[in-house]
């Protein structure tokens, strides 16, 4: 089984990254458990009630078997005419029952019948109490679980909103998503099932034990002898199965990851005829999962029988010795049958707890992954006295040097000056650093060398919210949300009226195609506007930015997917819009940037030429090459 998920020689696309945490070794379970429990802390009162309900339902179950003892003895007395040996507690229970029924003559049948009916009634009442408390317990537990999981999810999501762009740039979407789904689910399962079983199991164990001792201590000793066998055996199996369980989860992750990638990339798979390869790679991962699942399920499934058989042995020994004690007159018939019952009951919670182990392990792993996200360093806090002066739109970059990672500088010593209302264009080859400059303007990334000033104030001295309110952007990657066309445009300014939305759409030349959609502005877009063309998606993104009143506008390849005629339309529309705004335009199509006040030619993170269209052409440098196509782009 050398080819682990993502580890084999035939790695699928992105193979390695789906394998979750090497062997899912837990880092600090104590801390994780503590933190998980902190989510339950606001339900203290309810938890106390749950405990109370658990105790009540356990005690009622035990009481019923305990009451059985005097009842059987009474019946035995009736049948055999011989008084049974009874302990003080049993006598007490007997007295209670007799109080209810009144004194009865063992020899009289009808009185015996009344006795039995009363006993059944008493049992029914006790059981009813047990059922009610059981019901309350699971109701309360649901409230506690769902409430705390809701909070966990909210915390995780709001933490995500606070994370810097850097985090999303460096973590695959599926990876982040799985923390919301698989990992949170695991935690939920544990709180709802495992925690309840664990606590009620412990209560049952303690209760049974107490009742056992009061019934007969000699027989209790037998059970005590078997406890370490249960504990050690159960623990060992749980350990083995949990190991396989986590590798099963890892394999499952790999299969899910591969499926997800192949589904989302289905078109590429088909274009390059990779269907057969995909099937083969999938079946390798699938086979690996089957092997691991087999092991996990095998060890998981032998736990029950092994525990069961051990308890059968304990049961047999108890009955044997109990029988001897009874013959010796040291144990009543009732006590023996009740004890046999206890002995069975005693193994049940042990089984239950040991079976919960794997759930608990995977929940801990899940919780750890959730908390790992929560512990990520958020965006640095905004400065305290952030400037809120209205922004006019004068933008200055002074000797800006920047790299996404320290080892690799992407922008080198960039300086530029944009007057309010000017149109500045960036051109240059792919990867030259054009988008990177705009990422710095609105503080997606903070710089450490050089300065970026807006209206003379360093961007670090604005709050990010304020800054982004003042910089409207059409990003290079378009994105539309699930919702209507209107909602998607309104994303640019939430208080915009319907008229303003239509006006913005007209500016962006989007109005005519929107009107041709089935429901016009109320057409619902799904999964990133899959029902639109690439160019139409861009137009909606432009409309969204056009709606904003921001004094600074950034258009990153905004019109790369629309035809030149539409582009010219947009340009006309935007001219009006851009009048009082400082605009940064990035475009590969150089016709777009011709009328810019200044054009910056970027190469390898440096501005190698600058000037307006005509002067750049005169220079006969890089821009001239790009524009006239004298030299092909490298
Ligand atoms: N999130 C990121 N993390 C690390 N490196 C990045 C990241 N984004 C971009 N880069 C690198 O920075 C360099 C500049 O990228 P940038 O996106 O600014 O190029 P661009 O000029 O906008 O190119 P294009 O015309 O293709 O859009 C590239 O070499 C790229 O590999
Ligand atoms: Mg770019």
- The two three-digit tokens of residue 75, written as one number: 């019946």
Q: Which atom of ligand 1 is nearest to the CA of 588?
A: 25
Give residue-wise pLDDT tens across range 133-163: 999 999 999 999 999 999 999 999 999 999 9
Q: What Cα–Cα distance (Å) separates residue 507 from each residue in 149, 424, 568?
A: 45, 20, 11
d(CA 513, CA 523) in angstroms, rounded, equals: 12
Can you say how many angstroms the Cα of residue 88 is from the centroid of all Cα atoms in its chain?
56
**What is the three-class DSSP state of 61?**
helix
For residue 150 and ligand 1, the question of a CB distance below 6 A is answered with no
- For the chain, give the percent of residues with pLDDT over 90: 39
pLDDT of amino acid 80: 74
Q: Best of 401, 402, 409, 434 to mutate for ligand 1, by most ligand atoms within 8 A of CB?
A: 434
Mean pLDDT of the region 606-633: 84
For residue 436 and ligand 1, the question of a CB distance below 6 A is answered with yes
Do the domains spanning 26-374 and 391-470+588-634 agree at the CATH topology level?
no
- DSSP assignment letter at 236: H
Residue ranges covered by each domain of the chain: 26-374, 391-470+588-634
Residue 174: pLDDT band by 50, 70, 90 thresholds? low
Mean pLDDT of the region 239-244: 76
Q: How far is the CA of 433 from the centre of ligand 1 (A)?
A: 6
Q: Which atom of ligand 1 is nearest to the CA of 557?
A: 27
Q: How far is the CA of 577 from the centre of ligand 2 (A)?
A: 23
Adjacent-strand bridge partners of 582: 552
Residue 97 has pLDDT above 80, yes or no: no
For residue 410 and ligand 1, the question of a CB distance below 6 A is answered with yes
For residue 439 and ligand 1, the question of a CB distance below 6 A is answered with no
Mean pLDDT of the region 189-217: 86
pLDDT of amino acid 217: 87
* Cα radius of gyration (the chain): 37
For residue 435 and ligand 1, the question of a CB distance below 6 A is answered with yes
The alpha carbon torsion through 562, 563, 568, 570 (nearest 10 deg) reads -20
Residue 471: pLDDT band by 50, 70, 90 thresholds? very high
Q: How far is the CA of 199 from the centre of ligand 1 (A)?
A: 54
Q: Which atom of ligand 1 is nearest to the CA of 165?
A: 1
Q: How far is the CA of 435 from the centre of ligand 1 (A)?
A: 7
pLDDT of amino acid 510: 93
Question: Nearest bound ligand to CA 169?
Answer: 1
d(CA 554, CA 106) in angstroms, rounded, equals: 98
When mean pLDDT is compared across 149-153, 457-461, 569-573, 609-613, the lowest value belongs to 569-573
When mean pLDDT is compared across 191-205, 406-420, 437-451, the lowest value belongs to 191-205
Which residue is it, tokens 């300014």? 493
151, containing H or E segment: helix 109-162
d(CA 79, CA 545) in angstroms, rounded, equals: 93
pLDDT of amino acid 18: 37
For residue 168 and ligand 1, the question of a CB distance below 6 A is answered with no
pLDDT of amino acid 348: 78
Residue nearest to atom 31 of ligand 1 (CA): 431
d(CA 326, CA 338) in angstroms, rounded, equals: 13
The CATH number for 26-374, chosen from 1.20.1560.10, 1.25.40.420, 3.30.300.30, 3.40.640.10, is 1.20.1560.10
Question: Nearest bound ligand to CA 427?
Answer: 1
Q: How far is the CA of 526 from the centre of ligand 2 (A)?
A: 26
In the CATH scheme, what architecture does the domain 391-470+588-634 have? 3-Layer(aba) Sandwich (3.40)
**Is the Cβ–Cβ distance between 379 and 163 less than 8 Å?**
yes
Contacts 24+ apart (CB under 8 A), 123-126: 123/64, 123/67, 126/60, 126/63, 126/64, 126/67
For residue 476 and ligand 1, the question of a CB distance below 6 A is answered with yes
Q: Best of 169, 400, 433, 608 to mutate for ligand 1, by most ligand atoms within 8 A of CB?
A: 433
Residue 240: pLDDT band by 50, 70, 90 thresholds? confident
- Within 8 A by CB and 6+ apart from 310, the residues are 226, 229, 230, 233, 347
Mean pLDDT of the region 366-393: 88
Give residue-wise pLDDT tens across range 508-538: 999 999 999 999 999 999 877 888 998 999 9
For residue 431 and ligand 1, the question of a CB distance below 6 A is answered with yes
Mean of the per-residue pLDDT values of the chain: 84
**What is the three-class DSSP state of 563?**
coil
- The two three-digit tokens of residue 93, written as one number: 């229970």
Mean pLDDT of the region 120-144: 92
Q: Which atom of ligand 1 is nearest to the CA of 405?
A: 4
Q: Best of 168, 406, 410 to mutate for ligand 1, by most ligand atoms within 8 A of CB?
A: 410
CA 172-174-175 angle, 5° bins: 65
pLDDT of amino acid 336: 86
Question: Nearest bound ligand to CA 414?
Answer: 1
Question: Which of 103-112, 177-186, 351-360 ranks highest by mean pLDDT?
Answer: 177-186
pLDDT of amino acid 108: 65
Give residue-wise pLDDT tens across range 1-55: 333 333 333 333 333 333 333 344 555 778 888 998 899 999 999 999 999 999 9
Give residue-wise pLDDT tens across range 246-258: 677 777 777 877 8
Q: How far is the CA of 560 from the centre of ligand 2 (A)?
A: 11
Residue nearest to atom 9 of ligand 1 (CA): 436
**Is the Cβ–Cβ distance between 460 and 383 less than 8 Å?**
yes
């Amino acid at each position: 089984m050398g080819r682990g998920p993502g580890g084999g020689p035939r790695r699928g696309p992105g193979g390695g990254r789906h394998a979750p945490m090497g062997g899912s070794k837990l880092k600090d379970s104590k801390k994780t458990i503590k933190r998980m429990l902190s989510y339950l802390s606001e339900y203290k009162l309810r938890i106390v009630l749950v405990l109370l309900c658990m105790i009540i339902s356990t005690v009622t179950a035990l009481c019923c078997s305990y009451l059985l003892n005097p009842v059987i003895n009474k019946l035995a007395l009736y049948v055999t005419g011989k008084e049974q040996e009874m302990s003080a507690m049993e006598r007490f229970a007997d007295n209670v029952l007799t109080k209810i029924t009144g004194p009865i003559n063992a020899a009289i049948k009808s009185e015996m019948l009344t006795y039995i009916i009363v006993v059944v009634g008493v049992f029914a009442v006790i059981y009813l109490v047990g059922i009610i408390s059981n019901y309350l317990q699971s109701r309360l537990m649901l409230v506690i679980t769902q409430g705390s999981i809701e909070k966990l999810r909210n915390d995780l999501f709001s933490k995500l909103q606070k994370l810097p762009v850097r985090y999303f740039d460096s973590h695959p979407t599926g990876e982040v998503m799985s923390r919301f789904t698989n990992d949170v689910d695991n935690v939920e399962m544990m709180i709802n099932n495992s925690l309840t079983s664990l606590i009620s199991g412990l209560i049952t164990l303690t209760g049974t034990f107490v009742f056992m001792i009061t019934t007969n201590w000699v027989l209790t000793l037998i059970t005590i002898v078997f406890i370490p066998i249960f504990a050690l055996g159960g623990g060992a199996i749980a350990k083995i199965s949990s190991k396989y369980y986590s590798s099963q989860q890892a394999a499952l992750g790999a299969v899910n990851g591969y499926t997800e990638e192949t589904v989302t990339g289905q078109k590429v798979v088909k274009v390059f005829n990779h269907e057969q390869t995909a099937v083969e790679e999938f079946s390798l991962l699938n086979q690996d999962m089957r092997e691991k699942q087999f092991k996990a399920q095998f060890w998981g499934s032998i736990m029950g029988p092994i525990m069961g058989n051990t308890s059968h042995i304990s049961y047999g020994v108890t009955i044997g010795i109990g029988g001897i004690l009874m013959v010796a007159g040291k144990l009543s018939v009732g006590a023996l049958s009740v004890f046999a019952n206890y002995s069975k009951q005693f193994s049940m919670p042990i089984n239950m707890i040991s079976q919960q182990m794997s759930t608990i392990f995977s929940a801990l792993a899940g919780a750890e992954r959730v908390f790992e996200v929560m512990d990520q360093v958020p965006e640095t806090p905004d400065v305290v006295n952030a400037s809120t002066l209205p922004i006019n739109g004068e933008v200055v970059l002074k000797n800006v040097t920047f790299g996404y990672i320290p080892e690799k500088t992407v922008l080198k010593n960039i300086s530029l000056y944009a007057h309010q209302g000017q149109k500045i264009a960036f051109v240059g080859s792919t990867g030259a650093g054009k988008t990177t400059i705009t990422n710095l303007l609105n503080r997606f990334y903070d710089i450490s060398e050089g300065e970026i000033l807006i209206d003379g104030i360093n961007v670090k001295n604005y709050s990010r919210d304020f800054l982004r309110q003042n910089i409207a952007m059409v990003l290079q990657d378009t994105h539309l949300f699930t919702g209507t066309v209107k909602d998607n445009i309104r994303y640019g300014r939430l208080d915009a009226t319907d008229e303003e939305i239509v006006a913005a759409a007209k500016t962006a030349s989007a109005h005519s195609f929107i009107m041709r959609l089935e429901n016009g502005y109320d057409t619902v877009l799904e999964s990133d506007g899959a029902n639109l063309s690439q160019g139409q998606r861009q137009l909606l993104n432009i409309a969204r930015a056009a709606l904003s009143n921001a004094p600074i506008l950034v258009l990153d390849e905004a019109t790369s997917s629309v035809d030149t005629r539409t582009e010219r339309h947009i340009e006309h529309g935007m001219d009006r819009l851009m009048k009082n705004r400082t605009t940064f335009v990035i475009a590969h199509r150089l016709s777009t940037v011709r009328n810019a006040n200044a054009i910056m030619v970027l190469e390898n993170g440096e501005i190698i030429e600058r000037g307006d269209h005509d002067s750049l052409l005169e220079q006969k440098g890089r821009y001239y090459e790009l524009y006239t196509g004298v030299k092909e782009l490298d």
